[in-house]
Amino acid sequence: MKSSIIICPMGYCLSLLFFLASLPGIFAQDVKHATVVVDGTLTTATTDDNFICATLDWWPHDKCDYNQCPWHYSSVINLNLSRPLLAKAIQAFRYLRMRIGGSLQDQVFYDVGNLNSTCHPFRKMKDGLFGFSKGCLHMNRWDELNHLFSRTGAIVTFSLNALHGRHQIRKGVWGGAWDSSNAYDFMNYTVSKGYKIDSWEFGNELSGSGIGASVSAELYGKDVIKLKEIIKDLYKNSDSKPSLVAPGGFYNQQWYAKLLQVSGSGIVNIMTHHIYNLGAGVDPNLVNKILDPRHLSKVSETFSGIVQTIQHNGPWASAWVGESGGAFNSGGHRVSNTFVNSFWYLDQLGMAAKYHTKVYCRQTLIGGNYGLLNATTFIPNPDYYSALLWHRLMGKGVLAVGSDASPYLRAYAHCSKGRAGITLLLINLSNQTDYIISVRNSMTMRLHTKKKMQTESSLIHGLKRSVSWVGHDTLNGATREEYHLTPKDGYLRSETMVLNGIPLQLTESGDIPRMDPVHNNVNSPIYISSLSISFIVFPNFDAPSCA
């Protein structure tokens, strides 16, 4: 039998082999053609330059849920800051936004100034808030943390203790004025050392009925006015002043509206809310929820609600997701740290940006089951690479996207980051349908009649008619970049993510691996396999709003 030799330009062979390798799947599964239409004439929302954010929490190693203790030594207080991989993981983002906070922050004292108590770490305490005693942050530890932030370029939000000085007036409800003295001394120390803090947040999950504890919106509003005065005083000689962030809780329309009304214009710069829309980490249906488009879409009501609340009561403020880990109580074991979680995570990022969210903070950078990094080895989990690809490819401008595919194919588009064109995120939640995608530019589509558009958006038969239209400026030979993400060996709960057929693993020298795309001609088919995620970059897409 005569042998065959494939001759192709450099950079295209890998793409061809990747496509050929998928052909058995094409014929073995249900294959559907779908059209995705992107409107590049107008950005519907904008994010912050540093949309991706990750948290460092206070939980000690003996924080346990469901007979599991997944935090190890990943706390703000005891994380090993000298591990080279930690710095490399942060530096890879250039620059990663980080939020320092979590459930125990409202029990943290700062060992500075006139602190009238012993500075000790958190200890198990039956009657304590969340089952722990008060804890303390030594200033030498704060110095070490800031050294890490400085050398990695981290952009820091620090969330302050908002319960200091208050007392419990009934179960779960706290009253009395906030004692700002310890926070003032801590912030003053921070300023005196020249440490750069991008924003100061006030409290954690004290809004509405609270989690563990709650404070009324009236009291909270008065206290953030006090915090704003402290920021103005301490940074009066600075060229820029940190933003004031609040309340770092679960969205409650009446409470959030009241906070903005009581605090008044320009006091709260950023309204943060937390999301754990997958439920408890022990839920055996976590994977089913992650792969259910109806469940994923339910949280859009929260995103829409907070945008409307800000518009009506505090249009000077913007919205952040201050903490989101998918499943609460440390995340889901063998779910939150595996490939399948990226379906939830990337869909959340896309939806949040679509609803005018400026920053999205993932719980956590390290710690619990939902850490971007493994809590003991510091090796990146799959969601780390998802976050890094988003950060590198998706720009600030959010674009409108339409599709004739089923709800199991999720599509989001942004202006590309740092260059012309657009980046399309495609998430295929279906376990039995592969898609051949035709991407079209709405500017081109408008040249056709409504009847013609309906005909061309219907399912098309055959690979030859499945093409990508990226606008009238496209030239023959123009290429697009493709980043196809799948789990190792097809196992959804794999802790190894595969990019274009290559497992993402640390290099021999312990560095974050390169994440190179495959290149394809813009007129070739886009093949999206079942249960996979793809970023597609169109450098030549005609998008005036991205210019």
Asked whether the beta carbons of 381 and 372 are under 8 A apart, the reply is yes
The backbone torsions φ and ψ at residue 227, rounded to the nearest 5 degrees and listed phi first, read: -65, -35
Q: How far apart are CA 152 and CA 148, in angstroms?
A: 6
Q: Measured between alpha carbons, how far is residue 484 from residues 13, 98, 324, 401, 407 in Å?
A: 16, 27, 25, 20, 20
Please choose, from the candidates 439, 437, 459, the residue with its C-alpha nearest in 3D space to the C-alpha of residue 541. Answer: 439
Please choose, from the candidates 368, 315, 359, the residue with its C-alpha nearest in 3D space to the C-alpha of residue 341. Answer: 368
DSSP class of 546: G
Tokens of 158: 């620090």
Amino acid at 519: H
Tokens of 503: 């497992």
* Bridge pairing between strands 135-138 and 155-160: unpaired
Find where tokens 């408008």 sit. 446
Q: Measured between alpha carbons, how far is residue 424 from residues 125, 254, 350, 413, 480 in Å?
A: 49, 36, 10, 4, 11
Kindly list the catalytic residues: 205, 323
Report helix, strand or coil for 483: strand
Would you give the distance in Å from CA 374 to the centre of its chain?
A: 17
Please report the sign of the dihedral spanned by the C-alpha atoms of residue 20, residue 22, residue 23, residue 24: positive
- Helix H, strand E, coil C: the string for 262-294 is HHCCCCCCEEEEEECCCEECCCCCHHHHHCCHH
The backbone torsions φ and ψ at residue 107, rounded to the nearest 5 degrees and listed phi first, read: -120, 15
Please choose, from the candidates 377, 348, 379, the residue with its C-alpha nearest in 3D space to the C-alpha of residue 363. Answer: 348
Q: How far apart are CA 339 and CA 492, in angstroms?
A: 6
Asked whether the beta carbons of 249 and 204 are under 8 A apart, the reply is yes
Asked whether the beta carbons of 226 and 184 are under 8 A apart, the reply is no
Rg of the Cα trace of the chain? 24
Asked whether the beta carbons of 86 and 132 are under 8 A apart, the reply is no
